[in-house]
Structure 1
Amino acid sequence: MLTIRRYQFEAFAIATQRAFEARMLAHLARCWPARVAEMTEPRAAALVRAAAARAREHGLIREFEVGRFIDCCFVLGPEFEADPRCAWAAPILGSGRSARERADQLWSRTRRFLVEGEGAEDR
């Protein structure tokens, strides 16, 4: 029988997290190259880590859901859900819908917010 020890599991978790961060940084660079160029890589990585932790606090745990939340943090600001200009975010995150539905609705509303230009010049 194969036994995975705690330190092995922890090493795997760290490697998995780093791989996710690398994928997210590459995704952000593809989608918003000008914004990424304004940041140092350590700053962008810190934003990804902090946003992923907050996504989990909102019950968003799958990679897709966390990625959507990170996208929102990247384009709206690191604590967008507390920003009065994004008052629509907290009710979405707190709704009883599934995590996937909340992530999709959050991104849909974020896109509308950006298209309508609500506060976009301040970001």
Structure 2
Amino acid sequence: MLTIGKDQLARFREPPRRAFEAEMVAHLAAFSPPLFKTLGEAQMLVVVRTGMAAAESYGFDLRGPVRMYLELMLLFGSRFDTDPQYPWFHELLTASPDAPQMQRAGRIHARVTEYRRQVAGPEDEYTFAALRRILNVAEQPLEYPPTHIVAEMSRQFAAVYPEKVAHVGEQALANLIREGVETARDLKSPSARGEALMSVLMFAFGHGCADDPLYPWIASTIRDGMVPEPARWPVRLEKKAITWLKHVLGDLPRRG
């Protein structure tokens, strides 16, 4: 559950930064046990430090707002602030920069609460159901004519996660898919297979997933698949993504 916390007025510089980092690692481990299990303590510390720096760049240095920012990373991806799926994050993070931190954080918290009510559902049941559908799609061939990939991927996304697609909107979804296509091409995979896969991963894990510290297996698989055959990373990444989803979803109760 997204929180700001009772100690929200204490700055994370006091107690010392390292103590706060350790506290946040423990907090995020409890916030998302499946994700923490896949990352481990050392990598979660990398996530915490990345998030603290990002939060500071938006003027957040109180414990509550910083903790909220870290929780948002786990919910929406480390680069949620620039994700085309969630343009309202950037608007809220940059609006009224001189306003009190708690006031700004409160606006974000209220917006996220409403988003999660509509998109995640009670106890995240819509999200878990969507991830299971994405797993089913990932186990099938992802091949579309390049000229139709935006329309076809939009249709697939609407089928696996209708609640999110309805909230995100057609234009934002198309922008995300185009970013996935461009990212795949930049990674030397000008194929419908790679472009579709990258779009799926961005939809599921956030548009910065290719180098997100929350999902280091994505970056390492792409890097290892670039040599000697650049086109091989989509095949390897599909397998890794399926394994990761099965691992995370394996112990979750089935909600439909």
Q: CA deviation at 1:116?
A: 2.6
2:91 alignment partner in structure 1: 91
Change (3 A) 1:114 1:52: same
| Contact map agreement 1:72 1:107 (CA 8 A) in 2 | no
Relative to structure 2, which stretch is displaced further, 103-112 or 91-100?
103-112
Q: CA deviation at 1:86?
A: 1.2
Separation of aligned partners in 2, 1:111 and 1:40: 28
Change (3 A) 1:37 1:111: farther
Q: CA deviation at 1:48?
A: 0.5
Output the TM-score relative to the length of structure 1.
0.78
Change (3 A) 1:103 1:78: same
Q: 1:122 aligns with which of 195, 204, 220?
A: 204
| Contact map agreement 2:73 2:80 (CA 8 A) in 1 | yes
Separation of aligned partners in 1, 2:68 and 2:19: 17
| Contact map agreement 1:58 1:93 (CA 8 A) in 2 | yes
Q: Answer yes or no: is 1:30 the counterpart of 2:112.
A: no
Identity %: 25
- Count of residues in Structure 1 that have an aligned counterpart in Structure 2: 109
| Contact map agreement 2:31 2:71 (CA 8 A) in 1 | no
Question: Hey, which of these two has a bigger chunk of helix by percent?
Answer: 1
Letter in 1 for 2:102: R
Letter in 1 for 2:19: A
The two structures, once aligned, show a CA RMSD in angstroms of 1.9
1:111 alignment partner in structure 2: 113
Separation of aligned partners in 1, 2:43 and 2:106: 26
Separation of aligned partners in 1, 2:25 and 2:33: 10
Q: Answer yes or no: is 1:66 the counterpart of 2:66.
A: yes
Give the gaps of 5 or more residues in structure 2. 1-12, 120-163, 166-202, 206-256
Residue aligned with 2:85, SS:
helix
Q: Which has the larger radius of gyration?
A: 2
Output the TM-score relative to the length of structure 2.
0.39
Letter in 2 for 1:37: K
What is the CA deviation profile of residues 13-61 of structure 1, one whole-angstrom value per residue up to 9, with x for unaligned ones?
Answer: 7x81111011111111122111211212221111110110110110011
Relative to structure 2, which stretch is displaced further, 27-36 or 82-91?
27-36
Give the gaps of 5 or more residues in structure 1. 1-12
Relative to structure 2, which stretch is displaced further, 84-93 or 100-109?
100-109
